[in-house]
């Protein structure tokens, strides 16, 4: 089992959400993301930092990858709706912080991968 439970719990702690009620799904499936439908979120750096930390978590949490990728498109001009959705993803993570990737030791499959999750910070 490959997971980032410690990292997920640290992320929840830093966001002040360790005692939050868990969400059953990462986002509302009817949510339409837009840069003009909501009030701008003023702390852009905090939003960028939170999305960056969630991107790192997607290394072992493919269940949130699509949603984090969608929210990352608004790094330059996030809105309150984007931030609220990001918080909902954290509430979802709270439900199962140890969720990860399972690789059985009884198989002959060999996993070979390379993923540079820090590449975007270097640009």
Instruction: For residue range 31-57, list pLDDT tens digits in order.
Output: 788 888 889 999 999 999 999 999 999
| Helix (H), strand (E) at residue 66 | helix 62-72
9: Cα within 13 Å, side-chain hemisphere: 6
DSSP, res 109: -
In this prediction, residue 2 has a pLDDT band, given cuts at 50, 70 and 90, of: confident
| Residue 75: predicted pLDDT | 95
The whole-model pTM stands at 0.82
Distance CA 75, CA 14 (A): 20
**For the segment 45-91, what is each residue's pLDDT rounded down to a tens digit?**
999 999 999 999 998 899 999 999 999 999 999 999 999 999 999 99
| Mean pLDDT, all residues of the chain | 87
């Amino acid at each position: 089992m490959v997971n980032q439970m410690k990292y997920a719990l640290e992320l929840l702690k830093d966001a002040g959400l360790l005692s939050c009620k868990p969400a059953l799904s990462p986002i509302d499936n009817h949510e339409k993301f837009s840069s003009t439908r909501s009030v701008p979120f003023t702390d852009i750096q905090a939003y960028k930092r939170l999305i960056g930390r969630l991107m790192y978590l997607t290394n072992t949490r493919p269940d949130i990858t699509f949603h984090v990728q969608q929210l990352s498109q608004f790094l330059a001009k996030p809105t309150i709706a984007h931030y609220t959705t990001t918080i909902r993803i954290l509430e979802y993570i709270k439900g199962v912080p140890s969720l990860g990737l399972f690789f059985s030791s009884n198989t002959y499959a060999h996993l070979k991968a390379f993923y540079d999750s820090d590449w975007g910070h270097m640009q």
